[in-house]
Copies of this chain bind each other. A is one copy, B any other.
Amino acid sequence: MTDWIAHRAAVLPVQPAVIESSGATTYGQLDTLVAQACVTLAHLGVERGTRVGVLTSNSLSFVVLVHALVRTGAILVPLNTRLTDPEVRYQIENAAVSVLLVDDASVGRAIGRDASPAARVLRLEDLRLDDLVSTRVDAPVRAPGALPTINLDDWQGILHTSGTTGRPRGAVITNSNHWWSACASAFNLGLHADDRWLLTLPAYHIGGLSILFRAAIYGIGVVLHRRFGPEEVWASLVRDGVTIVSLVPTMLERLLEEAAPARHALRCVLLGGAAASPALLARAAARGVPVVQTYGLTECCSQVATLAPADAITRPGSSGKPLLGIELRIEREGEDGAGQILVRGPTISPGYCDRHTIRPIVDAGGWFHTGDYGQIDPHGYLYVLDRRSDLIVSGGENVYPAEVEAILRGHDGVVDACVVARGDSTWGQVPVCALTTHGAPRADLVEDLAAYCGERLAPFKIPREFRVVEELPRTSTGKLRRGEVRRWFGGAP
């Protein structure tokens, strides 16, 4: 189909596409930037199918790059800037990245050629996107009938999401996944001519990245923040005319701690990433902040189900109903109707990338088994009871216990480890760890473990507390009884 950016440049060239505090870039300008970036990428040897790792935080250059890779037919492998070098290296290898673009903040990291010979490392600055961006030349008017096209079946990206196996998995996301997701979201949230979507989530996660695609397909503006700050968000709502913002609960908590401006055009806070507490939702409602809870996954290209604001009071804790085209089913396990959540539809990733092969993620019936547990009430409302059964969500970032445990078991002094969530007023949850040792633990073990994890794990994944125990509780079949360990740390089982 027609390239989304080129279409908007042809139809509404002066419409703002990206709004930053420093000024706005129109769709005409963005289209020109994307076209120029495509030429530069071609010079660098990036072509159709090339897998391009990108390690940078939110910026206009990143937006240009995302759309230039789509137009080129190359595959974006966005890398979380908070990961450690070994974590980044693993993802680069797993996605078979051949070109790695890093911003100046990361250029000195041990993730490049020496550390991972397969990938050629380039400085993002070498693309000179910032120079292009700073000039923001007015685009020549697009000649009609000569617009670039994109292939909906092309892979847009490989996005890593850790699983219970302890190793991150690279979910392939296609242009088609983004298209269907954007349509389904619009037919749920509506679409106003003056809509502007605030992107303050990191764009290397699906929750942020998908905003760039929705905006391009709808032809609306993205208000771009480099990082989250509650005061900046409130100021931006007023200054930039933001109508929709995607947040995780921790962000909403912090936002509600600040004084709100008297007037703003906000019509929807799309709240995802983790379960929101009823208290938080009540506080938002009291402040007149219209919250739409959503349940989404990387493998489903973001939103799967959402709860309308009108239902927020009567269905506290629900994630609502599936979007158009998406089907939900519970694989029942107990008497209470709860069980694993299954999802089916055109937004589902074609599979996990394993270097040069792809492993489908749906069963023979087309259902994706999310690993999350939930139930659906008689009125069709979804309640997510447990995300990935043991997933820890800390400040909007996912922490997979199995991944942390695998690292800890690699330490000389550790026999076995169990990582669980502990409630935290700032981050929602933080990881904590119970572990067993060979004989009596060394005096400096905890200190040593913190340093050991610091070299191998992003800061948000490092357990805040290590507790040495005689034995970890297990079921008769040998599975960790995580509920018991959560109780040790003062939580509910």
Contacts and interface: CB of A to CB of B under 8 A. Distances in A.
B378 A321 contact: no
Nearest to A367: B145
A220 to B, nearest CB: 9
Contact of A142 (B144, B190, B217, B380): B380
A192 to B, nearest CB: 5
A329 B146 CA distance: 8
Contacts of A142: 380
Interface string A214-248: 00011100000000000000000000000000000
A322 B10 CA distance: 9
Contact of A145 (B11, B147, B327): B327
A191 interface: yes
A141 interface: yes
A377 to B, nearest CB: 9
A178 interface: no
Contacts of A217: 187, 324
A19 to B, nearest CB: 19
Interface stretch (A1-9, A199-207, A484-492): A1-9
Number of copies: 2
A441 interface: no
Contact of A325 (B1, B321, B325, B345): B1
A192 B145 CA distance: 31
B141 A321 contact: no
A329 to B, nearest CB: 4
Contact of A191 (B7, B143, B186, B327): B186
B11 A321 contact: yes
A141 B193 contact: no
B190 A193 contact: yes
Interface in A109-138: none
Nearest to A4: B324
B321 A380 contact: no
A376 B144 contact: yes
A325 B217 CA distance: 10
B378 A141 contact: yes
A330 interface: yes
Interface in A1-36: 1-2, 4, 7, 10-11
Interface of A: 1-2, 4, 7, 10-11, 141-145, 147, 183, 186-187, 190-193, 217-219, 321-322, 324-330, 345-346, 376, 378-380, 382
9 contacts: A1-B324, A1-B346, A2-B327, A11-B322, A145-B328, A145-B329, A187-B191, A190-B193, A192-B192
